[in-house]
Each structure stands twice: as structure tokens, then as C-alpha cells.
Amino acid sequence: MSETPAEVDVLIVGAGPVGLYGAYYAGFRGLRTAVIDVLPQLGGQVIAMYPEKPIFDIAGFPQVTGRVLIENLVAQAAPFEPVYLLGRQAVTLGYDDGLPTVTTADGSTIGAKAVILTAGLGTFTPRPLPAATGYEGRGLAYFVQRLDDYADKDVVIVGGGDSAFDWAATLEPIARSVTLVHRRDRFRAHRGTVAAVQRGTVRMLVNSEVTEVRGADAVETMTVRNTSDGVTQDVKAQAIIAALGFTTHLGPLAKWGLDLRTRHIVVDTRMATNLPRVYAAGDIAEYPGKVRLIAVGFGEVALAVNNAATVIDPDAQLFPGHSTDAAA
């Protein structure tokens, strides 16, 4: 665990892709930076939820997995030596002589000249699959960490949203078989992904639900009931992916006095919040016309850093010049 610095120029709360890019950009501007995250590893929700899933809407990358994206962002920021405070939760915000101070759950206090909130959706908890209670780590997973874990296995995916269909498409060529179980016959996933999965070999059990999971030491089989006619069938599987979504909340940030709109933080065109020297970027930020994409978050955190830089040093220029102009 990194030693907690007493003071930094910029404290970034959230170590997902937007926070990591913010660490690079703050370093590029010559600002001492620390990044804090309640999760024990860098990458935020990308690493926790879909490290092996291909991402297609990052500029300059026709396709990149979440894991590789995070590795590249960490390498990009590395020359500027940001301090990473992982497994720490930012709890309270105060001010000392007009400068923000953030206290963590372990009682440490970090002074900063600016704070940038890049906490994504906040903390998140997967919605459970009640029939599989007790099988966590024994065949039941809510997020896929390693594709190789599913090689030559019979996999059941429960859900009808983007994650369920993305995993079905990704695992189809890897697993022995893939079965998708959804309680309705309509899906929330992107139409193109649904069509691609339907053209493949994935078995679709719609208007259905998993009612029982069995196995001595790990998942072996389960009962699936058709909710329309009540007919049940046994489905063999060594792995279940419960892609049922997750619940989110801001946690302690909700008590900081920020201007909130439906669990998001309202910002202006500088990415500034209603609190002095506190900015927000990425999915957690809200303004008219907001589009929640990683690509959008990258631009937002650059705006936040550049505007914070002029508050930290009133003589600093808002636009620092292009990175190509910097000395190699």
C-alpha cells in the first residue's frame, strides 16, 4: 500500500480509465498527483466488471480489451509518478485555508489544491441470482475476469442486457456450449449484438428463469423453468454468469454538499462543481447533453485538469500547448 502523502496539487478520486487519464494529464501539466480508489486494483469498473471484453469506441483503437486499455493508461501516466492509494475510501471533504482536505476511511488526511471526482457510477453491487446462492467462487460469477476460465466448459449466462449478450458472443468460440437464459422474450441489449448472437450457436431459453442450482463442490446442473407454461428442464453447466445488472450509490460523496442530480454531480463547462476547487469528470458528472462514454470522459478530465491548473496557479495558461511540443 502506498504511503499517504500529506499534500498534493491534485487529488483524483476514482482510478478508472478517466481518473488514470487525469493522472497523466495532471502530470503533463507539472502537478503532483494522487489517485484514490476504494477498489484494491487500478482500473475501476472496467477491471472489476469486464477486463476481457472488447471495447470498440475508444478513439484510435479499432478494438481493445478493458485490461489492455488500463495497462496502457497506467503506462502513459507512469513517467509522472502519480501516487496510487488503493483500497482506500474517500469519506469526508473539508477545507483548510480555502484548500480542500479529504479524509479517508482509515483516518488519513490528504491536502490538495484541487480535487477531481472521477468515481464513475460510485460504488456498485451486482444483483444476485437467488437460485445460485452459495456458489460464488464455485462456478458462479457476476463479472468475467479471465476468458480462459471458461474454455471447454458448458456456460449458462443469465440476463438479457448488453453484458449478457456481449459475454455470449465473446465466449461462444471459447466455451464448449453457451446457453442464455432470460425471463422475457425481449432484450435490452444492442440490436446488432442480439442479432449476431441469434445467428450463432448460443442456445436461447426465453421467458425462463433459473430456479435451482445443484452440485456437490461446484456448479454441475440447474433447473430452468419456463414462466409461460411452467415446464422445467435440467441444463448441464460448469459455469454460470449472472449478468443481471448492479445497484450503485455515491457512498460518502453524497454527503459532501455537492449539487446532485439523480446520483450524478452537476458541473459547469469547466467541469467545476458547486464546491470550491472540486471538479468532476466521466460518468459521475452531469450537464445538459451529457453522453456517458469513456471517450467523452477523457475530454472532460482534460478540461477539469486544465481549469484546475489555472486556479492552483493564476499565472498558468488554460491551454498548456500540445504534448508534441513537450521535450522528449
Binding-site residue numbers for FAD are 37, 45, 50, 90, 124, 283, 324
**Using CA atoms, how far apart are residues 138 and 292, in angstroms rounded to an integer?**
34
Place of cell 440490436: 191
Output the known binding site: 37, 45, 50, 90, 124, 283, 324
Residue 315 burial by Cβ neighbours in a 10 Å radius (0-12, 13-18, 19+): exposed
**Using CA atoms, how far apart are residues 52 and 81, in angstroms rounded to an integer?**
27
User: SS3 sequence, the chain?
Assistant: CCCCCCEEEEEEECCCHHHHHHHHHHHHCCCCEEEEECCCCCCHHHHHHCCCCEECCECCECCEEHHHHHHHHHHHHHHHCCEEEECCCEEEEEEECCEEEEEECCCCEEEEEEEEECCCCCEEEECCCHHHCCCECCCEECCCCCHHHHCCCEEEEECCCHHHHHHHHHHCCCCCEEEEECCCCCCCCCHHHHHHHHHCCCEEECCEEEEEEECCCCCCEEEEEECCCCCEEEEECCEEEECCCEEEECHHHHHCCCCEECCEEECCCCCECCCCCEEECHHHEECCCCCCCHHHHHHHHHHHHHHHHHHHCCCCCCCCCCHHHCCC
